[in-house]
Amino acid sequence: MKRYSAFAIAREALRHHTGWERAWASPAPRKRYKVIIVGAGGHGLATAYYLGKNHGITDVAVIEKGWLGGGNTGRNTTIIRSNYLQDPSAAIYEKARALYEDLSQDLNYNVMFSPRGVMMLAQTEHEVRGYLRTAHANALQGVETEFVGPDRVKELCPIINIEGPRYPVLGALWQPRGGTARHDAVAWGYARACSAMGMHIIQQCEVTGVRSEGGRVTGVETTKGEIGCDSLGIVVAGHSGVLAEMAGFRLPIESVALQALVSEPIKPCMDVVVMANTVHGYMSQSDKGEMVIGGGADGYNNYTQRGSFHHIEETVRALVETFPMISRLKMLRQWGGIVDMTGDRSPIISPTPLGGCYINCGWGTGGFKAIPGSGWAMADMIAKGAPGPLCADFGLDRFRAGRFIDESVAAGVAH
Ligand SMILES: Cc1cc2nc3c(=O)[nH]c(=O)nc-3n(C[C@H](O)[C@H](O)[C@H](O)COP(=O)(O)OP(=O)(O)OC[C@H]3O[C@@H](n4cnc5c(N)ncnc54)[C@H](O)[C@@H]3O)c2cc1C
C-alpha cells in the first residue's frame, strides 16, 4: 500500500489522479481465518488493527452486514473526552484519547483529531459538586481536567448565555485536550491499515449463526456461506444481544435509538465542545460550519435507525436556553443509531461462556471516543485468551457479582 504524503498528492496532481489505489480491498471470504471479528464499526476495525500491529496476528476477517462504518461509528457526534469518574473508565478512555493524539500519523490517514477542548456545564449546585469530585478523581488518575468558573466558561465560549433563564451556568468541568475527530475517517483509516496488513474486510455479509463444538466456537454462518475460525470477536453495538443469542448466551444490554441533528452551516462561532446535562443537549461546530447537536435516547427499546420529530423539538428547545442564538438556525438533517446500554453505563469487554468467543459492547451513547483504547484492549484479550489490565474490570461477571462501574453521571447526556 502506497503511503499518503504531500509528495504523493503532488505526484497525483501531475498525473490527473490516476495513480491512487483503492483504500481497502473487498475480497471474497476464505474458508477459514484464525480470528473473525463480527462488525466493521470503529471498535471491530480497531480490534483487527491492533491484533496485527501489537500481536502480529493478521489472519483476520472483519465481517460486516452493511458497509464499514455505517453503524454508530458513522452516526455519532464525534466527541472525544476521558473525564470519567471511576478508575477503570478513566484508564481506558484516557488510553483511547492518548492514542487519538497520534492516530493520523499511526494510520497514515488524517482522522482530523481536533483537541479543541470539551466542557461539561454545571447548571445546578448538585452538578457543581459532582464535577468538582470528578476533577479531583481525574487529578489522581492522571487525566487533565479542571473545574472552571462562569467567567472562564464565557471566555471559552462567548455564545453561551451564562445567566439562565432557568439554569444559570455555575461553572464547568473543562478538559482542554478533549475534542472531536472525523468519525468516517477513523473507520476508513483503520480499514485501510487492516487491508494493508492483508486482513479481509468483508462487507455486505451478515452473520446469521455461530457454530461451536464441545463448548468452543468453530466458525460463523453468514449470507456468503460458512466461515471457520479459532477465535471470534463480537463487536456489533446495538445488535450485541442478537449475536449473543446466536452464540448461546444472554447479555444485560438494552438496545435503543439515539438521535442527533445538524444545522445549516454558519460562520465559525464556537471552537470548543459544550455539553449541558441539566437541560440535556450538547453542541459543537463542524469544520463545514454546521452546528452538530446531540439529542437523547428513546425511552423504549427498539432497532429503528432513524430520527423522530419530537426529539428535534425537545433537544433544540433545551439548548436554546443556554445558546439563544441557535433559535435563528435552520436544522438540516437528523438521524439515529442503535446504541447498546448497560445498567451501569459502562462497557463489556469480556470472554463469554462460549470458549474462544469474546464480546465488546455496551458502549452505549459514548463509545466513539473509546475506539482506539477499546480495540487495543480487545485485541490483547483475543491474542492472549484472557482480559488484560485495561479491560479486566469490564467483564460480564461484574453484573453477577454486583461490581458495577457506575458511570451514569459521566454518560448522563448522550455523547
Ligand atoms: C446519534 C449518536 C451520537 C453519538 N455521539 C457520540 C459522541 O459524541 N461521542 C462518543 O464517544 N460516542 C458517541 N456515540 C456512540 C458511538 O457512536 C458508539 O458507541 C460507537 O460508534 C460504537 O461503535 P461500534 O464499532 O461498537 O459499533 P458500530 O459502529 O455500530 O458497528 C457495529 C457494526 O456491526 C454490524 N453488524 C451488526 N450485526 C451484524 C451481523 N449480524 N453481521 C455482521 N455485521 C453486523 C453493523 O452493521 C455495524 O456496522 C453516539 C451514537 C449515536 C447513535
Which of 368, 413, 415 for mutating ligand 1's site (highest number of atoms within 8 Å of CB)?
A: 368
> Is the CB of 244 within 6 Å of ligand 1?
no
**Separation CA 390–CA 91 (nearest Å):** 7
> For residue 72, how far is its CA from the centre of ligand 1 (angstroms)?
3
Specify the amino acid at residue 170: L
> Is the CB of 81 within 6 Å of ligand 1?
no
* Protein residue closest via CA to atom 18 of ligand 1: 367
pLDDT digits (tens, 9 = 90+) for 213-260: 999 999 999 999 999 999 999 999 999 999 999 999 999 999 999 999
Which residue(s) pair with 61 in the sheet?
36, 200
Q: How far apart are the first and last CA of the chain?
A: 35
Strand blocks (E) in 266-407: 273-276, 281-285, 290-297, 331-341, 348-351, 357-361
The per-residue b/e assignment along 249-274, b for 16 or more CB within 10 angstroms, e otherwise, is eebebbbbbbbbbbbeebeeebebbb
Q: So what's the pLDDT on residue 152?
A: 98
Alpha-helical segments (H) within 56-171: 87-101, 103-107, 125-141, 150-156
* Protein residue closest via CA to atom 3 of ligand 1: 76
**Reported pTM:** 0.97
| CB of 369 closer than 8 Å to CB of 80 | yes
> Is the CB of 43 within 6 Å of ligand 1?
yes
> Is the CB of 352 within 6 Å of ligand 1?
no
310: exposed, middle or buried (Cβ count in 10 Å: 0-12, 13-18, 19+): exposed
> For residue 71, how far is its CA from the centre of ligand 1 (angstroms)?
5
* Average predicted confidence (pLDDT) for the chain: 95
Task: Please name the helix (run of DSSP H) or strand (run of DSSP E) that holds residue 152, with its range, or none.
Answer: helix 150-156
**Separation CA 331–CA 264 (nearest Å):** 6
**How many alpha carbons lie under 13 Å from residue 244 in its C-beta half-sphere?**
25
Q: So what's the pLDDT on residue 279?
A: 85
Q: Please list the ranges in the chain whose pLDDT falls under 50.
A: 414-415
What φ, ψ does residue 302 adopt, rounded to 5°?
-165, 170
What φ, ψ does residue 98 adopt, rounded to 5°?
-65, -40
DSSP state of 28: P
> Is the CB of 72 within 6 Å of ligand 1?
yes
> Is the CB of 373 within 6 Å of ligand 1?
no
**Separation CA 287–CA 265 (nearest Å):** 9
Describe the chain by its helix, strand, coil percentages, rounded to 5: 35, 25, 40
Could you tell me the CA-to-CA distances from 189 to 4, 94, 272 in Å, in that order?
11, 20, 25
CA angle 68, 73, 79 (to 5 degrees): 155
**Separation CA 184–CA 86 (nearest Å):** 29
364: exposed, middle or buried (Cβ count in 10 Å: 0-12, 13-18, 19+): buried
What φ, ψ does residue 168 adopt, rounded to 5°?
-65, 150
**197, 203, 209, 213: CA torsion to nearest 10:** -20
Specify the amino acid at residue 183: H
Ligand 1 atom at shortest distance from the alpha carbon of 238: 30
> Is the CB of 294 within 6 Å of ligand 1?
yes
Nearest Cα residue to 194 out of 342, 75, 59: 59
> Is the CB of 145 within 6 Å of ligand 1?
no
> For residue 272, how far is its CA from the centre of ligand 1 (angstroms)?
24
What would the grid cell of residue 148 be? 472552571
> Is the CB of 44 within 6 Å of ligand 1?
yes
Specify the amino acid at residue 344: D
> Is the CB of 305 within 6 Å of ligand 1?
no
Q: So what's the pLDDT on residue 413?
A: 57
Q: So what's the pLDDT on residue 334?
A: 92
Q: So what's the pLDDT on residue 168?
A: 95
DSSP state of 27: P
Ligand 1 atom at shortest distance from the alpha carbon of 46: 25
**Separation CA 367–CA 324 (nearest Å):** 29
DSSP of 352-380, one letter per residue?
Answer: -SSBTEEEEE--TT--GGGHHHHHHHHHH
Q: So what's the pLDDT on residue 415?
A: 47
Ligand 1 atom at shortest distance from the alpha carbon of 338: 53
Q: So what's the pLDDT on residue 225?
A: 98
